[in-house]
Chains A and B, each alone.
Chain A
């Protein structure tokens, strides 16, 4: 600890008052009360060090990172100090704060899709970052330097990219542009706020490599904000764990994972799903023999009308079967077509060719009563519980809807059934009269599950059901899902991008890449002894929450 820290946050407190003028307070609660988002946080980051701040939603980690650049909304009240190179940024006026932003402290944000200005070229935006701080730089010099920076962050053909607009680049490339912009003035501190969260695992691995490389090259101090323990294990030297605005633990990365001290850290670490063989408990239900499979896809092709009139093959000759009572995990990165397969399987999308058989009967071509009768026996759970429940309907009405549509029982029967369903997803039946937005994400997803099992389905399509949830909530929901599956014995197509989650729930695993089925087989074989290169790369790219193991995996991946 001889070197003085590049970034020193001392006893930072941030609260959002409601100001009393109604509206505008996305962070404010009801009735003018004060929300304390950050409560006495102290963090040091030395030059060349990577410190990860980890926590779940509402922990105050992002508010902390925003306050280092003075980017909080005006309603925020800040106390404590944030020193950058010996200057306290909380005391600076607007002009001097601007001189620091981008020059001394730079930031990379979560959403590469929206963080760049859509109306300007990439080159213009990188050049702007330079010209804002380097006064005597000509336009041409700035563009030349921008090209160098793009090359430095690993963008090939950088000259050509300068004239492109953000929407013409992929998510990974956009995030590289963001990073190029952030390092343009060689800042002393780089803050990455969930910078890899929106990216696929393989891209995430590349961006993490890039950040690590930049650290060694420029000796920057880095503050990495994340909720992902795998990312922490991969990149951090030291870790700060935050919970409800407070720091609950600070330790080196090895110590934290090996010897967590705070209860919250322990809970967090046990909640993280890990990729390990033979986790799935023994099945209590014997599989019935000789029955038609729950779902059979035969040479399924799905096409969408693409830009400029061409067709875009989202699903390309996929054949799959799921036996009765079996859970098939379908994994793949964004754009692999896995969600499209799920929606086609339940008849929400019409296939261009190929056949879907549900419970032994053809779904493709089924109409009217046949279709309705088939649909009664299956259901679907969506990723975002906030958008899969109608915000204008009460929880009770949401759960009762499948019964109403299929004319099951009378009002009294349905009321009883709703109460029973709420109890079976471990919620108080009293929540039936509430509206979805009054509940937390985890509670909403439980309601989504209750609705899905309302008619005792034989097949459930679960489309990323836990991806939008915090890890501890995810653990509880997965637990519930497994318990229900054991008890009710439905078959399930479990779609996810998270290999560890698949490892927990699936009997068999299928891997998709750009519309094609790459590999399919028993879970342990696909996850631990993959036959295909793509699967191998995918498995290697997923960071595991264990620094030592992750270091090994990284070496392995880079040699792949």
Chain B
């Protein structure tokens, strides 16, 4: 070769690190930031609220039943056995959020590992693992959950495990699709050519590169888990009293629809809508920032 080009390469070189750029994009998304703020407020409300507004949620005071909002000491009124609705909203929210977040994360964890292994392995192992997922998905989660609720006594940890175990299927499918395309990518091939093993491929290359899908889906999983737990409680098979959650509160309130006791229905309903939309907004914002990062490559 006759050329001795000093390698001055006139190509565009971005300077920001990958995560900093992502965080910036996330915070530029108004919807995502709104979601984050709503979530933070709700967390503060549910977990720190009882310190400011302590209430007795164990004992019933039938004398104070169905007080309207604005009554002294009961800003949101009381329910049919005289418990303060505002305070009940806080402890009910604790249950909903705890179960939702823990179950969502559990589902994501199981689904990610399952999907990554199936997609990376391919062949018959993939076929077997995915047929199991198909079978699980074919049974609607709510039905399975109701059956389980009649079999096992529904406590918070039991609910977490059961919801986690019925909702890992969707993330498993998503991660498997991702792993399937990642395993043929050159950097995985290069690693194999260097003599790297399957464990390294799955945990060092495939899962970190599927992290976008995983994180985004995790937020949706939490949102769905909160909805699911609300449905189960609404149908009367949620956590056993005196514990409660938003779905159960609404379920009780429904019998008073025609009495005009709106405060037994709307606060809990709106709380569910708020928290679920907050998680969805966050997930959507995350998805956008992950995608742009990938485009910028």
Contact = CB atoms under 8 A, between A and B. Distances in A.
Nearest to B18: A435
Nearest to A405: B196
A405 B200 contact: yes
Q: Across the A-B interface, give the 10 residue pairs with the lowest CB-CB distance, nearest first.
A: A22-B28, A440-B11, A388-B186, A437-B297, A372-B195, A375-B195, A382-B186, A392-B208, A476-B7, A402-B194
A30 B185 contact: no
B185 A387 contact: yes
Contacts of B10: 56, 58, 244
Given A22-B25, A388-B187, A375 B194 contact: yes
| B1, B3, B4, B292: most-surrounded residue (chain A CB, <10 A) | B1
A23 B3 CA distance: 41
Given A343-B189, A438-B17, 13 more contacts: A346-B193, A380-B193, A382-B186, A388-B186, A388-B187, A388-B189, A390-B205, A391-B18, A405-B195, A426-B7, A436-B297, A438-B15, A479-B1
A267 interface: yes
A392 B2 CA distance: 38
Interface size class of A (residues with CB under 8 A): 35 or more
Contact of A401 (B25, B191, B292): B191
A401 B196 contact: yes
Interface residues of B, number: 44
Interface string A438-464: 111111000000010000000000000
A271 B3 contact: yes
Interface of B: 1-7, 9-18, 21, 25, 28-29, 185-187, 189-196, 200, 205, 208-209, 211, 288-289, 292, 294-297
B25 A23 contact: yes
A387 B187 contact: yes
B1 A482 contact: yes
Interface string A390-402: 1110000000011
B200 A438 contact: no
A392 B10 CA distance: 25
A475 interface: yes
Contacts of A252: none
A379 interface: yes
Interface string A210-230: 000000000000000000000
B3 A475 contact: yes
A500 to B, nearest CB: 11
A478 B3 CA distance: 10
Nearest to A346: B193
Interface in A36-87: 56-58
B5 A475 contact: yes
B296 A473 contact: no
A384 interface: yes
Contacts of A390: 187, 191, 205, 208-209
Contacts of B17: 435, 438
A58 B11 CA distance: 7
A345 to B, nearest CB: 10
A348 B15 CA distance: 35
Contacts of A360: none
A55 to B, nearest CB: 11
Contacts of B13: 438-440
Contacts of B4: 479
B9 A382 contact: no
Contacts of A58: 10-12
Given A23-B28, A387-B185, A479-B1, A440 B9 contact: yes
Given A26-B295, A244-B10, A388-B190, A479 B208 contact: no
A133 B284 CA distance: 41
Nearest to B288: A23
Contact of A392 (B16, B21, B186, B211): B211
A270 interface: yes
Interface string A375-389: 110111011101111
A348 B25 contact: no
Contact of A348 (B1, B189, B208, B209): B189
B211 A347 contact: no
Contact of A30 (B9, B21, B194): B21
Contacts of B193: 346-348, 375, 378-380
| A22, A375, A391: most-surrounded residue (chain B CB, <10 A) | A22
Contacts of B196: 401, 405
Interface in A355-372: 371-372
A301 to B, nearest CB: 21
Nearest to B27: A22
Nearest to A483: B1
A299 interface: no
Contacts of A197: none
A267 B200 CA distance: 44
Contact of B297 (A347, A391, A426, A472): A391
Contacts of A441: 11
A401 B194 contact: yes
A475 B2 CA distance: 10
A506 interface: no
A388 B205 CA distance: 12
Contacts of A30: 14-16, 21
B7 to A, nearest CB: 4
A526 interface: no
B282 to A, nearest CB: 16
B215 to A, nearest CB: 13
Contacts of A271: 3, 5
Contacts of A406: 194-195
A279 interface: yes
19 contacts: A22-B29, A23-B288, A58-B10, A58-B11, A270-B3, A348-B193, A380-B190, A387-B187, A388-B190, A391-B18, A405-B194, A437-B14, A440-B12, A442-B9, A451-B190, A470-B11, A473-B7, A475-B3, A476-B9
Contacts of B6: 476
A504 interface: yes
Interface string A279-295: 10000000000000000
B120 to A, nearest CB: 14
A29 interface: yes
Contacts of B195: 371-372, 375-376, 402, 405-406
B277 to A, nearest CB: 21
Contacts of A21: 28
Contacts of B18: 391, 435, 437-438
Contact of A29 (B14, B25, B29, B205): B14
Interface in A84-131: none
B268 to A, nearest CB: 35
A382 B14 contact: no
A499 B2 CA distance: 17
Given A387-B185, A388-B190, A451-B190, A442 B28 contact: no
A7 B216 CA distance: 49
A343 B208 CA distance: 25
B7 A348 contact: no
A379 B7 CA distance: 25
A387 B186 contact: yes
A252 B185 CA distance: 44
Given A348-B192, A379-B193, A279 B29 contact: no
Contacts of B7: 426, 442, 473, 476, 480
A453 B210 CA distance: 29
B288 to A, nearest CB: 6
Contacts of B185: 387
